[in-house]
Amino acid sequence: MNHIRQKTIFISALDWGLGHLTRTAAIIQQLKEHNQIVIFTTPSQSSVYSALFPDLQQVPVHSYQINFHPQQFFKNIILTKKIFSSIQVEHNNLKKFISSYQSPDIIISDNRYGFYSKNIPSVLISHQLEIQLPFLFSFGNIIQQNMFSNFDEIWVPDYPDKEKSLTGKLSHNSYSLKHYDKIKYIYPQSLMTKNEFRKEIDYLFIISGTNAERNFYENYFENISEKLLKINSELIIKIAGSVCKDNRLFLGLINYNELNNWILKAKNIITRPGYSTLMDLHKIMSEDQNLYLIQPRYQYEQKYLYEYWIQKQWAQPLSVILQ
């Protein structure tokens, strides 16, 4: 990224929760000083980008309308079929925009597989070079490898050293060899900043994901909070990212910084193993803090990250504090 200068860059992130947006925002921060950035945003992303980068041009882009359901396997299968049609619509819309309005020097896509051009250098940001799927659906990796062929480079937000890798075989695997010449490890990307605070929050729960996921985990975390308060009524507990009560946390840079500070003030952090959240925590957590992860059901990538981070002893299962 340090070598990209004086370019017009189109960039867009998948609207699956806010994780793709925040890691893309960390990349925009590095590129915007020496380049012209145009951000292609969905309505749900626009206010966040406006708060983070008020001077950058935004272009509306259609939403993939992803609403992953943590407890409903067949709904998620139907969702996958919708994504493929969205990819084609996205690609056609980008071609029309380039031919009618403006042509960039570089296109950068965070997991939006239709956001590329065959005539313009196109970059895909992804930490998942091998999709974790049940055997019955393993053909998904073949489909993904074919989609990789549309991009000139694949930027992986992880360490190139497999031993230090935050993603394990997700980004260091046999599938990677098929596109080895395209892969560039750009190290973990996060907007978070490290600072020193007194640890005054006993338990911080972090909600992330699609609206369906956030509704589910809000109720789940509230139930756990009640159990903890029955054990000790004096505990200080906060839940960040709630759809119903705390949506403001993710509506701008000031409140994103507030979440940053809550993390730094927490003794114990409980979250699902979404990779962008894990990158944030990796960057700013200290050794005197404890991380507890929830084992997801149908997000196989996150199930792998859950097991991998516990195996590496970077986190513990939530069951430890509920015994």
Domain presence at residue 26: yes
pLDDT of the residue at 76: 47
Phi/psi at 320 (5° precision): -60, -40
Which of 9-23, 205-219, 275-289 shows the lowest per-residue confidence on average (mean pLDDT)? 205-219
Domain presence at residue 303: yes
* pTM flag (> 0.75): yes
What percentage of the chain carries pLDDT values higher than 90? 59
pLDDT of the residue at 62: 87
User: Which of 289, 291, 296 shows the shortest CA–CA distance to 321?
Assistant: 291
| Residue ending a domain, choose from 144, 161, 185 | 185
pLDDT of the residue at 207: 87
Instruction: Let me know if 121 is exposed, middle or buried by CB neighbors in 10 A (0-12, 13-18, 19+).
Output: middle
Domain presence at residue 1: no
Contact 278, 309 (CB under 8 A): yes
H/E segment holding residue 80:
helix 73-100
What is the pLDDT confidence band of residue 140, given thresholds at 50, 70 and 90? Answer: low
The enclosing domain of 113 has a CATH number of 3.40.50.2000
pLDDT in tens, 205-231: 998 877 777 778 888 899 999 999 999
- Are 222 and 313 contained in the same domain? yes
**Alpha-carbon gap, residue 88 to 31, rounded angstroms:** 28
pLDDT of the residue at 26: 96
- Are 155 and 87 contained in the same domain? yes
Computed on alpha carbons and rounded to an integer, the radius of gyration of the chain in Å comes to 20
Which of 9-13, 60-64, 266-270 shows the lowest per-residue confidence on average (mean pLDDT)? 60-64
pLDDT in tens, 308-318: 999 999 999 99
- Would you say residue 9 has pLDDT above 60? yes
